[in-house]
Amino acid sequence: MNNLPAEFSSFVGRHRELSEVRRLLSASRLLTLTGVGGVGKTRLSLRVGTEVRRSFPDGVWLVELAALTDQALVPQAVSDALAISSVTPYEPVEVLTDYLADRRLLLILDNCEHLLPACAVLATELLRAAPGLRILATSREALGIPGEYVYPLAPLPAPDPDEPLPDGASLRYPALALFAERAAAVSPGFTVTSDNAALVARVCHRLDGIPLAIELAAVRLRSLSLAQVAARLDDRFGLLTTGNRAALPRHQTLRAAVEWSFDLCTEAERLLWVRASVFSGRFDLDAAAAVCGGDGLDPDEVYEPLANLVEKSVLFAEEHAGGLRYGMLETVRQSARERLCDTPGEAVLRRRHRDHYLELAERFHADWFGPRQPEWTRQMRAELPNLRQALGYSLDTPGEEPAGVRLAGALYYFWYACGESREGRYWTARALAADPYPGPERVRTLAAYARLLILQGVPAVAVDVGRGCLDLARRMDEPFYVSHLLQTLGLGALYTAGPAEALPLLEEAVTVAGKLGPTHPALAYTTFALAVGVLFDGDPARAGELLAESQAICRASGDRWWLATALSAAVLPMLRLGEVDRAGGYGREALRTRRALHDIHGTTAAVEFLAWVDAADHNPVRAARLLGATDRQWRAIGGSPFGAGQWLREHDASTAAAREALGAARFGMEFRRGAAMELDDAVGYALGDDRPAAVQAHGQADTVGLTRRETEIAELVAGGLSNREIATRLMVSQRTAESHVANILSKLGFASRTQIAAWYVTRR
């Protein structure tokens, strides 16, 4: 298990360093690789992670920190990397320490230098709580905590060009080998020979053996000769050192190499290079045009300089389910940001960046209740680093706070429905504190904050927030939010006081929502909430009717996320009424829908609902296994939502029924078998796909159009390759491979890789 990205180019040299770092990591629980920018700290850490993964049964996990600017979000970044989607009210550090306590895994904290205080505190707490944890950090300076071992990473050895070169110099000197390999990629047939070895050595020596600088120089062989590359570097370094080679420290070496590459770009490429540094993490072509276009760079003509910067290794491109996304190595980005900070246009560009993502968030909010939820979910998750930056800019810049309130509220469905509730609570609370002006945007953000409090299990606080917000929504004449807040108050009362106090509020919420129209999202939401209240009040028949109404509104609008919520909730009233088959039908449809939305939390809940169905349907083995599988998942994502009311009683009753039917020993054995399942396997088992029935759907699936890349990936799945192996084979990131597999499952209506394999084999 890991989330390490596939390598996009070969790993050259560093054999001694690999061996030493592996040895040190076996003896030290915290090892920090330090060195100048571009020296290869990240690349070495990833290769080490790949080589030692068998030593860590619970995986090797990369935490990318370069795009993060908020110290408070470092624990959340680690949770994201580990796919912990907790909805509990506990602090992120508490969730992490609980999750890691009995696990043996390696965390790679990459690019810590700008977040040293938060990284140091978190590493200390995690290492204290989790004896099986080891941390490999990369940073320009040490974390500075007890028990840390610091390994300074030196540049690649390069020969002195003034000395005679030995035979086979390119094999003996990794700097030369790296230059030769990268040069051959842009100039096929290039090799280091006796005729050019001295020039290559001069280039590598000039660049101090810094891998990034060497790669930037090698890629220039696409348009320059080797002699021209060497001569221009001599000119550049001559200006910097005024003849004194010793005056040029290594951080200046890299700066000079980057600036030299910058000077060789066209005006359009230079403009785009500097402006693209405003992005945090990856970005797409539309964002590049909207944010970087104008003022000398035509927005309609951004693609050409963008593609050229990729060719010149200034940017890199990654395949994503929604299309190509572009990124910049952090060292290159920092150089560009220094240039940006020296221009009067920085404030304009940062505001333009914020406005682009604010507009994106508003479109997402308006379009969420409908058929595009899977696409929106993927896109907004990919844009999280840029959304964080837009929020941070708004809330930290005087006068921009109202836009921050608006943005935090526009992301409500992202926080609530896409597994980001903890971070949503953080940003909505910050936004509300930054701008207390009682406008319409504040109503939306307050409503989101109150609902997130309900989701995280603190209903009493949610009720306090909701009461004040309800008054504001009424004064602002916002009927949607009036219904929404009545619903929140009703659910809060349901969990704190009981149905008698909750039902009048929930009934009023439905009445207000009904005035907005028979298919309005508010009516689907409030009808669902009323159904839960009625169920808790002991009327499963009426609860089932109300949930059917909510489902009908969702189906009419093409909504899938709330439909899955209503389908899952319908399982319990059907079980109460003895309609086990209908309960199973609702549960299976909910599970398929949740899985297609990449909703880990909702998927796990849907699997548990089907465990309850199996317990009621006298299938104790299946029930025990599914309960074991969900127990493992709940631990992994920070806690079960079935901790109160009817949900807890049904969970306990299903567990007791399966244990009584099997006996304690057999139940424990089946429970452990379920706990050994990965989530994909548990989903397939819950849907009955443990039998060879996957083939039965292939005729229907043939009518669903997979893209060429998806068909290729389906073939690799059928060949038994894991997501990581697929990523390596196709030279894409593991996350991209996972996204493609999820898309295939969604398009074919399948729930497991076994089904994909069976479908592909039968189709062939």
Per residue in 388-410, pLDDT (tens digit) is: 999 999 999 999 999 999 999 99
Would you state the pLDDT for residue 171?
A: 66
Over residues 658-692, the pLDDT tens digits come to 999 999 999 999 999 998 888 888 999 999 864 43
pLDDT of 127 > 50? The answer is: yes
* Domain boundary pick from 437, 452, 467: 437
Q: Is the dihedral of CA 515, 517, 518, 523 positive or negative?
A: negative
> The domain that contains 34 carries what CATH number?
3.40.50.300
22 shares a domain with 86: yes
**437 contact partners, CB below 8 Å, separation of at least 6:** 402
- Tell me the DSSP string of 436-478: ---SHHHHHHHHHHHHHHHHTT-HHHHHHHHHHHHHHHHHTT-
**423 contact partners, CB below 8 Å, separation of at least 6:** 73, 76, 415
Q: State the total domains in the chain.
A: 5
Q: Is position 609 within any domain?
A: no
352 shares a domain with 316: no
Beta strand 30-34 with 148-152: parallel, antiparallel or unpaired?
parallel
Q: Is position 508 within any domain?
A: no
Would you state the pLDDT for residue 693?
A: 33
Give the residue among 698, 709, 696, 692 at the shortest CA–CA distance from 748.
Answer: 698
Q: Is position 543 within any domain?
A: no
Q: Is position 707 within any domain?
A: yes
**What percentage of the chain carries pLDDT values higher than 70?**
91
Q: CA geometry: angle at 631 spanning 130 and 412, to 5°?
A: 85
Would you state the pLDDT for residue 244?
A: 42
Over residues 13-34, the pLDDT tens digits come to 888 899 999 999 988 999 999 9
Over residues 565-607, the pLDDT tens digits come to 999 999 999 999 999 999 999 999 999 998 888 788 889 999 9
**540 contact partners, CB below 8 Å, separation of at least 6:** 572, 573, 574, 576, 577
138 shares a domain with 178: no
246 shares a domain with 222: yes
* In contact, 282 and 306? CB cutoff 8 Å: no
Residue, of 722 and 147, whose pLDDT is higher: 147
Residue 134 phi/psi, 5° resolution?
-130, 150
Mean pLDDT of the 72-83 span: 91
Mean pLDDT of the 152-165 span: 81
**418 contact partners, CB below 8 Å, separation of at least 6:** 377, 380, 381, 599
What gap in Å lies between CA 186 and CA 590, rounded to an integer? 50
Q: Is position 22 within any domain?
A: yes
Would you state the pLDDT for residue 14?
A: 86
Supply 7's token pair: 């390598």
Amino acid at the residue 315? L
Instruction: Share the mean pLDDT of the chain.
Output: 86
Residue, of 232 and 411, whose pLDDT is higher: 411
- 492-509 core/surface letters (b: 16 or more CB in 10 A; e: else): bbbbeeebeebbebbebb
* In contact, 424 and 411? CB cutoff 8 Å: yes
Supply 742's token pair: 């999820």
Amino acid at the residue 644? A
70 shares a domain with 113: yes
pLDDT of 699 > 80? The answer is: no
**What percentage of the chain carries pLDDT values higher than 90?**
51
Residue, of 185 and 732, whose pLDDT is higher: 185
Mean pLDDT of the 352-366 span: 97
Q: Is position 657 within any domain?
A: no
Candidate from 302-306, 327-331, 342-346, 639-643 with smallest mean pLDDT: 639-643
Mean pLDDT of the 433-460 span: 89
pLDDT of 172 > 80? The answer is: no
Candidate from 158-162, 204-208, 584-588 with smallest mean pLDDT: 158-162
* Domain boundary pick from 230, 263, 296: 263
Over residues 491-529, the pLDDT tens digits come to 999 988 889 999 999 999 999 999 999 999 999 999 999
Instruction: Tally Cβ neighbours within 10 Å of residue 236.
Output: 16
284 shares a domain with 200: no
* Domain boundary pick from 228, 246, 263: 263
Mean pLDDT of the 726-744 span: 73
133 shares a domain with 46: yes
Q: Is the dihedral of CA 471, 473, 476, 479 positive or negative?
A: negative
Q: Which residue range(s) make up the domain with 187?
A: 169-263
pLDDT of 696 > 50? The answer is: no
Q: Is position 537 within any domain?
A: no
35 shares a domain with 133: yes
Query: From the CA atom positions of the chain, what is the Rg in Å?
Result: 28
pLDDT of 248 > 60? The answer is: no
Beta strand 148-152 with 60-64: parallel, antiparallel or unpaired?
unpaired
Supply 467's token pair: 């009461």
* In contact, 135 and 127? CB cutoff 8 Å: yes
What gap in Å lies between CA 446 and CA 425, rounded to an integer? 10
pLDDT of 3 > 60? The answer is: yes
121 shares a domain with 234: no
> The domain that contains 293 carries what CATH number?
1.10.10.10
19 shares a domain with 138: yes
Q: Is position 745 within any domain?
A: yes
Mean pLDDT of the 465-481 span: 93
What gap in Å lies between CA 30 and CA 11, rounded to an integer? 24
609: left (phi over 0), alpha (psi -120 to 50) or beta: alpha
Mean pLDDT of the 161-184 span: 79
Give, as one character, the DSSP assignment of residue 72.
G
Q: How far is CA 503 from CA 18, 454, 498, 527, 719, in A?
A: 64, 17, 9, 12, 54
Residue 243 three-state SS: coil
Q: How confident is the model at residue 191 (pLDDT cuts 50, 70, 90)?
A: confident
Q: CA geometry: angle at 625 spanning 621 and 629, to 5°?
A: 170
203 shares a domain with 148: no
118 shares a domain with 21: yes
Candidate from 2-6, 298-302, 367-371 with smallest mean pLDDT: 2-6
